[in-house]
Structure 1
């Protein structure tokens, strides 16, 4: 009899991560959440394991990996979703804060993958949740943008190193509403898809990338942003006017 499958999700307590967790639980996976935050709600299926701790701490990553290996002995899907808020040079992001965000966004995914790689099940999949901010930025977002850019580089490097062991892909979301917010009509219409994204848009793609039918997709980045990163707008286009701050 085939052993029950196991999914690991970092940053799974809320938002996109929580939707990913719920997707795997619905599909019958044992799902392990690693997060510093409290879970918003408990699961009644008894397939959810919650390990609370700081992903920037080496000891927590080692303890979590050991617990997963002891309890399950295998990993089918490893989803690196945890990330930090935007901080940058204009707001004086400190040396310590910058490095903490890099530790969370790059070092933790690498190290957790390292600790679990010998226990990947056949056909295992790693999915890194990056961001369109790896390619384009607003001002004062250097730490987050750097972390997501590094995660994309880590994606294709791991895909080569883990060839035959696990596939590794990245998803780069754009504007995803995790708070059931209200939006101005312009917020919706500026997207070629005419809406803001929702966590399910990302979770569905995570699920797809983890399936055997997706086995020829490897080392790739897939952008989920309603087409926004393909829109080119200059001063005077589509009613948009450039208005420099302070002028």
Structure 2
């Protein structure tokens, strides 16, 4: 189904992005990815290339306009057209309680919101028929812990960007987003029973949970799903929580 389809992924050297890249690779896709992590980016490229040379890693920062331009120019030079864009890259500079600065806050927005917009603009004339864009948002777009303003703002922004771009790209590319909850990207095995059982699905999520939904949204058979967000959080954001209900307690900060 994905044989020789060209898939661009941002932030693919580690975590969820790495698993998305490997999942597309298993399905026969060509992978082009950008990341600031040179060592792990090169390792991923080696892992998926094997004896092939068809995949492409660009060492760069999606928060910088010129590096995005250079990346996409090279992608178009190599492949001509693109089938899938997965906007995964983002990070946190925390927020109000740790005095995230003006520049620090805006840098998160450049990586998490501006880059997906700008990549899409650079690619909008180079999408193959049936193209699909998947933005990785977060449940933090609609719910928060303290001191998370920079990341929450970026995820709220990409959620809104998703339905806006879906309208602008009608007939050219579908645009959807995924909102992960707690996803373990470290292969940890020391979760407490409470960590797991607080989720209605009774486990912590893993990157494969997100990769499967990315592939589902890019499947041509999913072509009536557009401008939508799919939450993948084991049911946590649907769980109503009150003090002294089902063992939940609120204590003084």
Check whether TM > 0.5: yes
Alignment of 1:202 onto 2:194? no
Q: CA deviation at 1:86?
A: 4.8
Alignment of 1:132 onto 2:139? yes
Point out where structure 2 has 5 or more consecutive residues left out of the alignment. none
Q: Taking structure 1 as reference, are residues 158 and 78 closer, same or farther at Cα in structure 2, changes over 3 Å only?
A: same
CA contact (8 A) 2:30 2:55 kept: yes
Q: CA deviation at 1:27?
A: 1.0
Q: Residue 170 of structure 1 aligns with which residue?
A: 177
TM-score, length basis structure 1? 0.96
CA contact (8 A) 1:25 1:48 kept: no
Q: Deviations over 1:82-118 (max 9, x none)?
A: 0112511000100000000000000000001100110
Distance (Å, rounded) in 2 between the aligned partners of 1:153 and 1:194: 30
CA contact (8 A) 1:88 1:141 kept: yes
Q: Residue 27 of structure 1 aligns with which residue?
A: 27
CA contact (8 A) 2:93 2:105 kept: no
Aligned length: 244
Distance (Å, rounded) in 1 between the aligned partners of 2:55 and 2:251: 49
Q: Residue 124 of structure 2 aligns with which residue?
A: 117
Q: Residue 9 of structure 2 aligns with which residue?
A: 9
CA contact (8 A) 2:134 2:175 kept: yes
CA contact (8 A) 2:93 2:100 kept: no
Q: Taking structure 1 as reference, are residues 184 and 86 closer, same or farther at Cα in structure 2, changes over 3 Å only?
A: farther
Residues 1-247 of structure 1 mapped to structure 2, 5 A cutoff: 4-38=4-38, 39=41, 40-41=43-44, 42=46, 43=48, 44=50, 45-181=52-188, 182-245=190-253
Distance (Å, rounded) in 2 between the aligned partners of 1:3 and 1:154: 29
Point out where structure 1 has 5 or more consecutive residues left out of the alignment. none
CA RMSD of aligned residues (A): 1.3
Distance (Å, rounded) in 2 between the aligned partners of 1:55 and 1:114: 14
Deviation larger for 36-45 or 23-32 = 36-45
